[in-house]
Amino acid sequence: MRWWCAAVDAPWSWVPRPYIGVWILCGALLALYFRSRAVYRRDHPDAPADPKDRRRAVWFVLGTGFLWVASDWPLGALGAGYLSAVHMLQYMLYTLGAAPLLLMGMPEWMLRNLLRHTRLDTAYRLVANPVVAALLFNLVLIATHAPVSVDALRSTQVGSFALDMVWLLSGIILWTPVVSPLPERQARSAPAKLVYLFLAAAVVPMIPGGFIAFSPEPLYGTYELAPRIGPSALEDQQMAGVIMKVGNLPVIWTVMAVIWFRWYERDQADVRRRRDARRVAAARASGERLSTRATRGTATADGPAGAGPAGADPAGTATVTAPGASAPVATAVPSGPDLN
């Protein structure tokens, strides 16, 4: 039994041939993941409940599933030594399926512990830079699809394993600025994520994909000399080029749409909060003005304490002006019957 897929000089057979190395790797990933979660809950019983905890576990299991599907029989065997189109499909499953799901499935505390124990904090901070991540991802894409690299690595199990793991690592680098569990390692804004994904994962891969798709002759000796399954070597290579050129677009554009709509919803929520805050402030200001006016009106109607009607003084005298007099004359006004 072979432990990892590699090119073999034998006709293709649909008899299942599982690769023990793939099963060990996937099983070890799941065991370490769930044991780490159990140990963390045991050591931090008072930690607040994470509402996304179960969702993260599902993502990690799905990411491991993508890793297993891309590496084991039949895709692993077909991609390693028979069809370049399946080889390209493997690349897509590693970088656009397994990598982002594994990254999204890791809680923040788990990734921090992993980086601290492996002393990779500085390296992770470096590759989290969108420019560095884009350059590294596309450099790996071009280097690992060069004919000399494919023919050399696919010929042995160790080389094929190294190629697959480099693809997985490049996918993790690609998605770090977008979905990293560490908030400080993500791109600062939604527009930055959109521009990054558009250039790094949608535009640049079209260039090598175009070279592979429009090449007039087969480029990879591994697939040209392999026992034929279906299309000719050139047709197979053309399909591989098309997959590299546009096969990633449904995933990338879907993710970009999700980022855009979430950004739009947050922006609209901020607008509504600001509008509501202005309305509350205006209502309070209006209420204060009405209260002030009511207070002033009451004070004006009552007058000063002890004051009588206009034109009279507290002593009960009225001021009148006699005809022809130049000054007013004070006249006593009876205050009413004396009840005493």
Which residues have a Cβ under 8 Å from the Cβ of 167 and sit 6 or more positions away? 90, 91, 94, 95, 140, 144
What is the average pLDDT across 185-206?
95
pLDDT value of position 299: 62
pLDDT value of position 287: 76
pLDDT value of position 131: 97
| Side-chain-side CA neighbours of residue 265 (13 Å) | 6
pLDDT value of position 298: 67
Tokens of 152: 């050399």
Q: In the structure, what pLDDT confidence band is assigned to residue 310 with cuts at 50, 70 and 90?
A: very low
Q: Compare 76 and 2 and report the one with higher pLDDT.
A: 76
- Average pLDDT over the chain, rounded to whole? 88
pLDDT tens for each residue of 97-123:
999 999 999 999 999 999 999 999 999
Q: How far does CA 158 lie from the centroid of its chain?
A: 34
pLDDT value of position 334: 45
Sole residue written with tokens 């090598």: 208
Distances (CA, A) of 2 to 199, 260, 284: 39, 45, 77
Which residues have a Cβ under 8 Å from the Cβ of 82 and sit 6 or more positions away? 12, 223, 226, 227, 229
Q: Is residue 129 predicted with pLDDT exceeding 90? A: yes
Distances (CA, A) of 156 to 56, 57, 160, 165: 35, 34, 6, 14
What is the average pLDDT across 183-210?
95
* Full-model pTM: 0.81
pLDDT tens for each residue of 14-64:
999 999 999 999 999 999 999 999 999 999 988 888 889 999 999 999 999
Bridge partners, residue 319, by sequence = 330
Q: In the structure, what pLDDT confidence band is assigned to residue 302 with cuts at 50, 70 and 90?
A: low
Q: In the structure, what pLDDT confidence band is assigned to residue 322 with cuts at 50, 70 and 90?
A: very low
Cis omega before residue 11 (within 30°)? Answer: no
Sole residue written with tokens 């890793």: 67
Q: In the structure, what pLDDT confidence band is assigned to residue 79 with cuts at 50, 70 and 90?
A: very high
Sole residue written with tokens 């072979």: 2
pLDDT value of position 50: 85
pLDDT value of position 293: 73
